[in-house]
Structures are given as structure tokens and as C-alpha cells.
Amino acid sequence: MNATHEHRLALPPLPRWLPRYPGSFALASGLNLLVIDRLPADLRGKLHGKSVAIVVTDVAFEFAFRVQGSRCVAMGSAGRPDLKLAATAADFAAIAAGTADADTLFFQRRLVIEGEVELATELKHSLDAIEFPRLRRLLRAVLERLPGSS
């Protein structure tokens, strides 16, 4: 599968009454385990106190967290976040798997970045430099099994 292959998995929207906090807690915990300590100290300093919302558009679900020191702390809602990223579940998975480029998706308007765009760019470059071979292999295997992949 190449990086330009599009995955269009139609997921049903999640009910609006579903609580956001458990998903945000799971994401923040994963970021604490896998990412935050691997970011440069100066970037962690810039992220300190910032709220982040990650919106999965095809399921209308928002994950929210705040960076406090060297930890991500889950929030029930980010309100007006300092940084907001929005894309489909398949596009986020493709970025994480390394089969899609965030810049390309941004220019195709499939990844929306709002708020502190310069901070998002710096964060993207730092994340690109971190190797996640097992996670990327797992995500690639999942993406290859999605309907429409060939």
C-alpha cells in the first residue's frame, strides 16, 4: 500500500451523550507512555499549560487533554483549545502508521489544524523524528484490512 492510497471507512457517528473523558484519558495515558518523554525539553516547555483537542470527524468524537509539565492530563472538554486537530479516523491512523503525510493531508484539507499552527508544525516535526516501529506495523496491518484497500 502506498502513501497516496486513500482509506475511506465510513464509521457511524458516536452518540453525543457518550462521555468524552474515558477516551481522552486513554489517549492521554498513551501519550504519557509513548510520546511525551521523547519530545525535546524545549517543546515540552512550549506545550506546558496548552489544551489540545483531537476531533475524529467521521465519528464526531473529541479527545481533549492539557499538557502539564511532562504529563498529558485528560479533560472532559477542551472548550476553546490552544490547538485543535481534526481528521477522519482512517486519516489519523494513516498518519500514525506512516502511510500518509500530515502535510499532504493538510493541503488536501483532510487534516484541519486550528489555533497555534506554528506549535503544531514543531510538534509534527518532533513526532516524525520518533520511531514507533511496532505501532506502525500494527496500524499498517489494520489499514491493509480496511474495506477499499488493495
Q: What is the pLDDT of residues 117-146, one digit of tens each?
A: 999 999 988 988 887 777 777 777 777 776
Sole residue written with cell 498518519: 95
- Provide the domain count of the chain: 1
- For residues 109 and 103, what is the distance between their CA atoms, to the nearest angstrom? 10
* Cβ-based neighbour number of residue 96 at 10 Å: 18
Residue 10 in domain = no
Q: Give tens-digit pLDDT for 72-128.
A: 999 988 789 999 999 998 898 888 888 889 999 999 999 999 999 999 999 988 988
**Does 149 score more than 70 pLDDT?**
no
**Pairing outcome for strands 112-115 and 83-87:** antiparallel
- For residues 48 and 131, what is the distance between their CA atoms, to the nearest angstrom? 23
Residue 2 in domain = no
Query: How many helices (H) and strands (E) in the chain?
Result: 6, 5
pLDDT band at 4 (very low <50, low <70, confident <90, very high): very low
All three cell numbers of 67? 499538557
* Cβ-based neighbour number of residue 22 at 10 Å: 11
Q: Give tens-digit pLDDT for 12-69.
A: 555 555 567 888 999 999 999 989 999 999 999 999 999 999 999 988 889 999 999 8
pLDDT band at 148 (very low <50, low <70, confident <90, very high): low
Range of the domain at 70: 21-144
Q: What is the DSSP letter of 58?
A: T
CATH number, position 133: 3.30.1050.10
